[in-house]
Amino acid sequence: MHIDIFSDVICPWCFIGKRRLARALAAEGDVPTTVRWRAFMLNPDMPAEGMDRQTYIALKFGSAAHARRIYDTVQQAAETEGLILALDRIVRTPSTVKAHRLIRWSSDTQGADDVVEGLFRAYFQEGRNIGDAGELADIAAAAGLDRGAAAAMLADGMGESDVISEDRAARRIGINGVPCFIFDGQYAVSGAQEPEVFAPIFAAARAGTLSPSAA
């Protein structure tokens, strides 16, 4: 079974959804899977240099109190998956074009999952600026990839048009929120769903009957 995962690395629900999918796959055990991480940008018009976090929150949520209520819900959901989010450490909301370029590049070396995990941890738990090329190269190195090669890729603009095209293609097929999991190109599950939501899809894949009406 192949899974395409549309996500953004500054989306906390995508971090939570990654954990929940992993739990679902671990519970099944006998369903061979491949995964491809796909680009979706929550803020496709974000300036390349990003934006001050507090300014971003004010623009997005209108008030700190409203943002706090929303993020309290996120924190509670994250904790059920063993994730402690240090949202107060985030100083800057970045453009994620470079991060998606790194993910796309790492997919060619089978290192994408570790890179995605590293990006989530860097942003949500360490408060690092994942729009910065140097930080991204360090994250690539921590995931076992060649830092110099990653830095060179980021410097030359490789993959930028592909990332933008993939984000636009996702919107054209109706994806307007992430995470979104697409199984064998046939069945989509949107949102950070609990592991049991995936069980009927895995059962259908095991039986060879996966179709848009499988779950």
Ramachandran area for residue 185 (φ above 0: left; ψ -120 to 50: alpha; else beta): left
Tens-place pLDDT, residues 181-207: 999 998 899 999 999 999 888 888 777
Beta strands in 25-133, from DSSP E residues, in sequence order:
34-39, 51-52, 92-93
| pLDDT in single tens digits along all 215 residues of the chain | 899 999 999 999 999 999 999 999 998 877 788 999 999 999 999 999 999 999 999 999 998 889 999 999 999 999 999 999 999 999 999 999 999 999 999 998 778 999 999 999 999 999 999 999 999 999 999 999 999 999 999 999 999 999 999 999 999 999 999 999 999 998 899 999 999 999 888 888 777 776 554 43
Beta strands in 59-166, from DSSP E residues, in sequence order:
92-93
Residue 174, helix vs strand vs coil: coil
Task: Tell me the domain boundaries of the chain.
Answer: 2-207
Distance of CA 87 to the CA centre of its chain: 16
Region 2-207: CATH code: 3.40.30.10
**pTM exceeding the 0.75 threshold for the entire prediction:** yes
Do the strands 2-7 and 34-39 form a parallel or antiparallel pair, or are they unpaired?
parallel
Asked whether 158 and 152 are in contact (CB, 8 A), the reply is no
Distance CA 35, CA 59 (A): 34
